[in-house]
Amino acid sequence: MQRGAQQVVASANEVAGIVMRARGSVFGSAIREGKQVVSIRIFDHGRTGTATTSALTRAGLDLAAERAIAIARTVEPDPDAAPAADEWLARSASEVPMFEPSNLTAQDLGGMALEIEEAALAAGGGSVRVNDAGAASIDASAAMAIGRDFDRSLVASRHDIWCSAIAEQDGMMVQDSWSSSDRRVSQLLPPFMVGRTAADRALRKRGGRTVDTQTCPVLFDAPVAASLVYDIVGALTGAAQYRGATFLTGGKGAQALSGHVDLLEDPFEPYGLGSGVCDSEGVASIHRPVISGGRVEGYFLSCFYARKLGLQPTGNADGVRNLHFTSRHPPRSTAALLRLLDRGLWVTELIGGAVDPVTGTYSKAAAGFWIENGAIAFPVQDITIAGELPVMLRQIVAIGGDVHRSGAVRTGSVLIESMRIAGR
């Protein structure tokens, strides 16, 4: 501010961790990660500029500030480009626990990676090889200040274990994977289970074939169903709503999904991967329904787009918090969902394709299993699934109790009444 900026938001981030990988019963790689970054964003009468630096000296910080000011001078002013209003700031919010020290050494993490690889190979019985098996432990800290009278800080941990396995049959190879992530080591899946699950998932895909082109019910496996939630999120961002680049155009109160479906945002979940009392603009997080009974109750808004839409920001400048996609119907197991599906496609992998964010036209290459009489008939590959998201979301028949967490999203498997399957 001494250099003439009207208002300033400054943040500092530090990350340190270890990543270990196993390959062929030995350590394939060992990486010690670490970085420190300071970001300076200035506001000057509707103009904004941002610069970052890893040079944490007075000279480096001064240079970053000068660059931010220089960038701002090249930008057209916009009256909605301003820091968060004082009443939006998370001044009194209590911290959410996000850090638990792991005390894991590189040798500990390497041992976990080797255990994962060994379990995958044992489950494969000679038909599986491991493409990647690893373990990582990361600690992070961050602090921010707005002007001269607001600051917040946090410390967080994250631990990951994973395995990617390849199974072969008659010269054809298929791949699948499994992983576990948490802020607490004690809450991770056992390493052997991650390896075994990856191998089992790869083995069951062998002998896949296509199916006839047709229209049928489709069950999205829980890890894949998270992509549907992210499609909804994208349609409800401030940018999408302000620009009209969204397939959810009815505004708040519109019946956009089946009447039994809810989407809840919970930023205050202890040790949640998407937890936090505020976003990078300092805006207080909110525990709230985003979708209630299929109706849109809220958007995901930064300060800029909140002002554009004449609404309050929601603390989502950096993305979504912990989202829970659920049904008001009694929860069903995966097996029960397959029986409800009866005959159709169980999608366990999305390989490529796209969703038109404006129309919601949905078309993706997929793989999975063909279901007959509620049971697996054979693996399926080389198909495309297609539909219109506004229709698909209103045709959600059930959301399973087989809940899986993918980043900041928790959802069970999602059964859609009807989609187009393009095969042979």
- The structure tokens listed for 314 are 């929601």
Residue 152 neighbours by CB under 8 Å, 6+ apart: 90, 143, 144, 277, 278, 282
Question: Which backbone phi and psi does 343 adopt, to 5 degrees?
Answer: -135, 120
N-to-C CA span, the chain: 65
Average pLDDT over residues 144-170: 92
pLDDT tens-digit series, residues 368-412: 999 999 999 999 999 999 999 999 999 999 999 999 999 999 999
Enumerate the domain spans of the chain: 7-205, 208-423
pLDDT tens-digit series, residues 226-270: 999 999 999 999 999 999 999 999 899 999 999 999 999 999 999
Give the number of other Cβ atoms within 10 Å of residue 204's Cβ: 16
Asked whether 421 and 211 are in contact (CB, 8 A), the reply is yes
- The structure tokens listed for 209 are 């074939």
- Specify which residues 41 forms β-bridges with: 9, 50
Amino acid making up residue 114: L
pLDDT tens-digit series, residues 301-335: 999 999 999 999 999 999 999 999 999 999 999 99
Instruction: Name the nearest CA neighbour of 34 among 46, 49, 17.
Output: 17
Is 7-205 CATH 3.30.2290.10?
yes
Q: Compute the distance between CA of residue 70 and CA of residue 75 in angstroms, rounded to an integer.
A: 9
Please report, for residues 41, 43, 69, 97, 177, the alpha-carbon distance to residue 47 in angstroms, rounded to integers and kept in the order given.
Answer: 10, 6, 9, 36, 46
Residue 3 confidence class, pLDDT cut points 50, 70, 90: low
Q: Rounded to the nearest 5 degrees, what angle is found at the Cα of 82, between the Cα atoms of 80 and 83?
A: 140
Residue 421 neighbours by CB under 8 Å, 6+ apart: 211, 213, 214, 215, 216, 218, 345, 383, 384, 385, 386
Average pLDDT over residues 80-106: 92
pLDDT at res. 107: 93
pTM reported for the whole predicted model? 0.93
Q: Rounded to the nearest 5 degrees, what angle is found at the Cα of 89, between the Cα atoms of 84 and 94?
A: 155
